[in-house]
Each structure stands twice: as C-alpha cells, then as structure tokens.
Structure 1
C-alpha cells in the first residue's frame, strides 16, 4: 500500500480526532458572525477556500470571499483574513499575509505550529494531527472542511462512520477503457470537484477536468465519449445525467457525503497512477510546499 493510500484510509480516524479535539476552536475562529471574511490559499488550499467561503456565506454568517493567494485581489475592507497552508511555508501565502492592511485580523489554518505562516497570523487553527508526509494532500483539506461544517452547525459525527464503511470496501470503478475524468459539483461541492480533478492530474498525470455542474452542458460536454467518466459530487440534475449518458460516457452520481466522495476520488487517482506504473507519492515536478527564492 502506498503512503498516499494509507493516508486516505486514515481519514475516518483523523476526522473523529478533529471533531473531538478541535470543534470548539474551529467554531471560535471560523464562524465570526457578521464579519466580512477573505479566505486565501494556493493549489488544493485555494479549492478548499472556495468551498469554505460558500459554506460560511450560505450559513448566514457574513460575506465570505475566496481568492488565490498568488493572485492580486480587490480589497473590500475585510474584517478577517483566513489563510490555508498545510506546510505553513508557502511563499505566496506568506507574502499575502505581509501585504495586508494594518488592523485586519488574520487566522491561519496549518499543520505546522512553528511555521512562518503560523508566526505571522493573529490566531492559528492547528491541524498537526492531520498533516501528511505525501506531497499530494488528502487528510488536511478534508479534515478542515469537516471541522468547518461542524463549526457552522452541521452534525458531522455520522460522516466519519460513513467514511469508515465506504473506504473499507474495494473501489467499485472499472478503469478499463477510461482515459478522461470529469468532476462536477454545485455550490460548496464545486471546490471538491476541482480538488478531485487536481488529484488525478497530480498523482496520475491523466486528463482530468472539473466544472460547475450545470455549466457542463455549455461546451465541455463536447469532448465526452465512451472514454469518459463523469463523477457528480453532491446533488445531481437528472436531465444533465441523461444528456451525459447520451454521449457514451459513464456517469457516477455520488450517494455518500461529499467529503466521503472526495476521499473515494482520491482513491481513484491512486488507482489510475498505479495502473500507469506511476508512484502517487512522488508526483512529477512537484514538492510538498512551494517555497520561492
């Protein structure tokens, strides 16, 4: 079993630990009723930022925007800036923190307590028990979103149990003939769709795309065929499913909690990599953290 596979399989236990030890702290830092919040990240963390922003705003706790830490953004008098960085060493996140106006409260979510990002923030939500050795992130992003949903008022205990059951079973996807992988999401699950596709690109060097669910008809559907697997995370639109099936593509509509579906998508990325003779623990051209000189 690869390191990545072991880290994927450990997610239910990590999620339980997070709920037991960090829910109160997450609620204290992430809810911030009425505060205008900006959430920043790079790569996986940027997709997680999008999901969290959608969840917080939809829950009614205030305006929440997400942006890439590496891209300029329009300042809108935010009260709080939340940054996500597993390693706490990502150069663009550090530079974003250093560029903020004086007086803005900053919160870091990281896996490393003594990291530069943690040192720059006013408050830290430390998820050191969810950190990973693998370059490819699995536990850290899912653990944060599980905690965020619990902090925002969802009951999440059953999700860890569901993940334990689902991940104990063999992955029920026949890869024969499949070379094109598409993930669709809606609302907060669009961030998960982007993350799922990134996992396949990172770990397996394969063709993977992601789109907001109903936007898939607006062009991307043109490349779907019998080589395509289209995986819908979260709610599905039956007429869209029928349209995709007419292309000859295989459609998978997720039935588990979206975070469990993401864990399954991570397993698929590992399976594709191993089928291609690749090591999912060592993605080509990538390192655990982007540190620029």
Structure 2
C-alpha cells in the first residue's frame, strides 16, 4: 500500500485523536482568546497550509467585530514592511505540517520580535522550530504525513481550525456537526471510494474544483492534490464565478468537482447543467438533507452525499476526501508514484548567504 493511500484511508483514526486533543485543550484556547481580545487575526502558511489559511480567513472574518487575513510565509519574507499595519495588534496563527518550513519559521520569528504579538502555532511535529516564538502550541504528531503530498495533515489542520472557530464563537452546533462528520468519516470514505475509483478511470486529464465561502481555500487544496498526487493540472474557482472566463477551457477531458450548498438551487443547477453541456465528467458533493438539487441532476456522473443537514464549515471534511481519493486513484490509473512526486519536497528549507 502506498503511504498516500494509507494516510487518506486511515485519517478517520487521526480525526478522532485530533477531536479529543483539541477538545482537551478547549480551556487553554478559550483563555488565550480571553487574554488577547483584539479580535484581529492573521493566518500564516505555505502551500497547502496557506490554502487552509485562506479558509480560516473566511471563517473568522465572518464573525461579528472580527477581522482576519491570510498571508503566505514567502510573501511576508519578501515584503515585511507592506504588512506592518496588518500585523500590529493582531493575533498570529501559524499553520505547518513540520514546523520547519523556512518561510513560516523566519516570518514568525520576525513578527514576534518586531511586534510582540501573541502567536498560536498548529503543527504536526513536536519540538519544532516555530515553538520558540509561540505563546500556545497545538502539536498533533499522529497527523504527520510521511508522503510528500499532504492529505491526512490537511484534513486534520482543517478540523483544528474549525474547532478553534467553534471555541472562539462559542458555537456548540458547529462543534456538534464536526463531531458527527468525524464519527461518520470511516463509513463515508469506504462507501464512496469504489465509485470514485471508477470515476478516476474516466477519460479526463485535468481537474477543476468549485467551492465557495470558507471551503474555497480548502477547495484550492483539493485542486493542488490533483496536481501533486496525480500530476495532472488542478484549479479551483468559486461556483458562479467560474463562468467569468475559466469555463472556456472546460471540455470533454475535464473533471469538475462541485460542492453544492443549500439555497439558490436554481443558480447552482443551471451552472451544473452548463458543465454537463461541455461534455466532461461532473462530480457533485451535496448534503443528503437540506437540498433537493442532488435528486434533480440527471447525467451527473457521481453525486457524493454528505449525511445530514450539517453546517457549511463541517462539510469541508468529507468534501476534501473526494478530491484526495480521486487524485490518488488517478495516479494509479496513470502509473504514477503518489508518494514521491518528482521535484517536490515535504518542506522547504531556504539557504541564506
């Protein structure tokens, strides 16, 4: 079994540990938010973790009286003065698999030393290089991906961010919904893997992921999974915005993964029917309750149902699996090694002269 396959298909075990761990840290995290009540957040990441930072920006930025931004570590290193006003009086949250990526470590060090703002770090490796600059550390080594491309790490980072939001907003319903998708994850992944494996064998050579709101950054990570794991081009766009130019490239060799939301179902249905007319492969991901759209789309290749009427943010956990397993199964079809994509490293170390 490939490492990537094992990390995707066993992530239900890691999700349960993460749920227990973050729940056990609720008091520490609630105290952290109380101790630093500025309600300004900056999320810092690189690659996959930067895409998750963009989802976190949307999650926290939609909270009352709160501002949130996402910055790529390399961007900050090159342009630190540009972000001066953004960093002042904010809370910095760093996201990293290893805690050793140079862009994040050096940026966190500079921000902490220059602005003295509180730092909360989330990573998958204890005793990492960011921890000396952190006020609170969340480390989840059971989520660390040994393969180059991140899958289990991504899903668990997303869960940690969503739980953090639940604590910040004191939103017990969100936390209950997250607990539900964690509990259902193993059955869900085993149920849908066979049909998604069949979908991976269809005649498509590039992938498009369509997702909105707090799941758009996660959708970008889903598109990156196609690029890194299957080594086919992957892109992500907002649903209706896809018509504004990018759809011109959608054709018979395109796989399009569409996250369907309750509400404005006619607009979403019209978009999906437009995609079908382009002749490619269409996979929809929709709640099994709360939307009738899933029952009224003849010709869609696969509809993946997310159980229950759960919140938008909680749907991200089953949604990202669809992209991850499609990417892995496509790699198998193409005879690629998903564990060691050529030219990629697990984390980047910059050399300074």
Structure 2 length normalisation: TM-score?
0.78
RMSD: 1.9
Q: Say which of 85, 99, 102 aligns to 2:96.
A: 85
- Write the distance in 2 (CA, Å) between the matches of 1:200 and 1:263: 12
Question: What is the CA-CA distance between 1:98 and the residue it aligns to?
Answer: 2.0
Equivalent position of 2:183 in the other structure: 161
In structure 2, the partner of 1:62 is: 66
1:253 aligns with 2:262: no
Unmatched runs of 5 consecutive residues or more in structure 2: 287-305, 307-314
Instruction: Write the distance in 2 (CA, Å) between the matches of 1:219 and 1:80.
Output: 37
Q: Paired residue for 2:310? A: none
**Structure 1 stretch 182-191 or stretch 48-57: which is displaced more?**
48-57
- Corresponding residue number in structure 2 for 1:105: 118
- Please say which of residues 269-278 and 22-31 is displaced more in the overlay: 22-31
| Structure 2 counterparts to residues 1-293 of structure 1, below 5 A | 1-25=1-25, 28-29=28-29, 32=33, 34-60=38-64, 62-71=66-75, 72=79, 74-75=83-84, 76=86, 77-100=88-111, 101-151=114-164, 152=166, 153=171, 154=174, 155=176, 156-169=178-191, 170-173=193-196, 174=199, 175-235=201-261, 237-255=268-286, 256=306, 257-293=315-351
Listed as ranges, the gaps of 5+ residues in structure 1 are none
**In structure 2, C-alpha distance between the alignment counterparts of 1:147 and 1:60, rounded to whole Å:** 21
Give the Å deviation of 1:26: 5.6
Q: Hey, what's the Cα distance between the residues in 2 that align with 1:116 and 1:93?
A: 9
Rounded Cα–Cα distance in structure 1 between residues aligned with 2:157 and 2:26: 9
DSSP 3-state at the match of 1:13 = helix
Query: Which is helix-richer, 1 or 2?
Result: 2
Once the two structures are superposed, residues 236-277 of structure 1 have per-residue CA deviations (whole angstroms, 9 ceiling, x without a partner) of 722211221121122221122221121121111111111111
For residues 196-253 of structure 1, the C-alpha deviation after alignment (integer angstroms, 9 at most, x for no partner) is 1111111121121111222100111001111111101352722211221121122221
- TM-score with structure 1 length normalisation? 0.93
